[in-house]
Amino acid sequence: MRTGSEFDDPPLPWSMSGKVAVITGGSRGLGLAMARGFAGAGAAVVIASRKLAACEEAASSIRADTGAEALPLAFHAGHWGEAEVLANRVYDHFGRADILVNNAGMSPLYPSLLEVSEDLFDKVLDVNLKGPFRLTAVMGPRMVAAGSGSIINITSMAAVKPRPEILPYAAAKAGLNALTVGFARAYGPNVRCNAIMAGTFLTDVSRSWDMEAFSRRAGAFALQRGGRPDEIVGAALYLASGAASYTTGTVIQVDGGQP
């Protein structure tokens, strides 16, 4: 005879209940959307970004909307020494980290390739490539010691379709794709590392764009539009969850079907 407990629904494989998710660049744009998504799925979230006030505002909003614990922490992805400080604060507070999303990024405009300064080039690579490398190198072994973990790198379609106006950024994101595969091999079998190669999303940054010109370009996409920030959340939840237990070293395109 079957007991009542046998009729209970099994936990959803993408449930984040009891998990701790660390999201860099989590105070706005795609990072904020993913933080909200993880919190809504039951995770405690760490909002780590350069401006503490913005992190605090985002954390307060997430707590109010979802009831999840949200910890705001200042963190500059381009500063090598801050990675260990962030990891220590996360582990001191929660005693664990189950998910790391390397989302912090930057792509400043420049007038021409000849006028790209060494300082600009270095800053772009520091934030988009060096930072994720160091934070993953610091937090990955702790996940390995705990026996599980999921690392998600947010890269860009620019990595494989570079445009002249974003070449340093494209090079950094191509490097992050490579790190994704390498870290998956370094930290397997119990810690997985994957990437989301994001297309063009309409975040706060897009407010300064020439939207008429963008609409013409987006007309060539299969979905014929830019993405909403919340449209990256499903891929992030999948990669972080048990539903992706056999997925590692993979780069998933979420780009609306760019040609």
Q: What string of H, E and C letters represents the secondary structure of 84-112?
A: HHHHHHHHHHHCCCCEEEECCCCCCCCCC
Q: Write the single-letter amino acid at 70.
A: A
CA distances 138 to 10, 131, 176, 183, Å, are 34, 11, 16, 12
In terms of DSSP H, where are the helices of the chain? 29-40, 52-66, 82-94, 118-125, 131-146, 167-187, 211-218, 233-240
Active-site annotation holds for 91? no
Instruction: Provide the pairing of β-strand 149-156 with 191-198.
Output: parallel
Options 91, 110, 169, 246, the catalytic residue: 169
Question: CA-CA distance, 19 to 45, in Å (whole number)?
Answer: 8
Question: CA-CA distance, 71 to 232, in Å (whole number)?
Answer: 22
Which residues does the annotation mark as catalytic? 169
